[in-house]
């Protein structure tokens, strides 16, 4: 397996492959040190420590929060943005929703 690391030293995994010919910028990851099933489920939470890939639990929380923020952004795009006269408070609440992690209730007139 190989793992790509950015030139700026970013340690979290960006890409991986099972080929043996390593182009520049790739590092060899020892297969025996890796739970492949866990890795495939959580690959964005693994970081390179200079010798092997290490699972970072704190990164898992960050990734989950970002996924929830993306979900809120998608809901905002589908629920709020298509409405022309949406009301300033409701609109602002939707704009703030990815940061507050709170989706506003729909106004009565929207039902």
Query: Are both 9 and 49 inside the same structural domain?
Result: yes
Q: How many Å apart are CA 111 and CA 108, to the nearest integer?
A: 6
Q: Render pLDDT for 72-108 as a digit per residue (tens, 0 to 9).
A: 999 999 988 888 777 888 889 999 999 999 999 988 8
Domain shared by 11 and 36, yes or no: yes
Structure tokens at 76: 């905002």
For residues 50 and 13, membership in a common domain is answered with yes
Judge whether 45 lies within some domain. Answer: yes
Domain match, 8 and 39 both: yes
Confidence check: pLDDT of 23 > 90: no
Residues 50 and 23 in one domain: yes
Residue 7 pLDDT > 50: no
The reported pLDDT for the residue numbered 9 is 47
The reported pLDDT for the residue numbered 4 is 54
Note the pLDDT tens digit of each residue in 37-74. 887 788 778 777 777 778 888 888 888 999 999 999 99
Number of domains in the chain: 2
47 and 80 share one domain: no
> Distance between CA atoms of 30 and 52, rounded to whole angstroms?
7
């Amino acid at each position: 397996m190989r793992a790509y690391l950015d030139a700026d030293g970013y340690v979290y995994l960006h890409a991986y492959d099972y080929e043996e010919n390593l182009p520049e910028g790739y590092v060899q990851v020892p297969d025996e040190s890796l739970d492949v099933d866990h890795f495939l489920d959580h690959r964005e939470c693994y970081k390179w420590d200079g010798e092997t890939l290490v699972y970072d639990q704190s990164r898992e929380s960050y990734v989950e929060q970002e996924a929830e923020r993306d979900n809120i952004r998608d809901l905002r795009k589908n629920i709020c943005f298509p409405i022309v006269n949406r009301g300033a408070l409701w609109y602002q609440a939707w704009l703030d929703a990815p940061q507050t992690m709170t989706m506003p209730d729909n106004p009565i007139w929207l039902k």
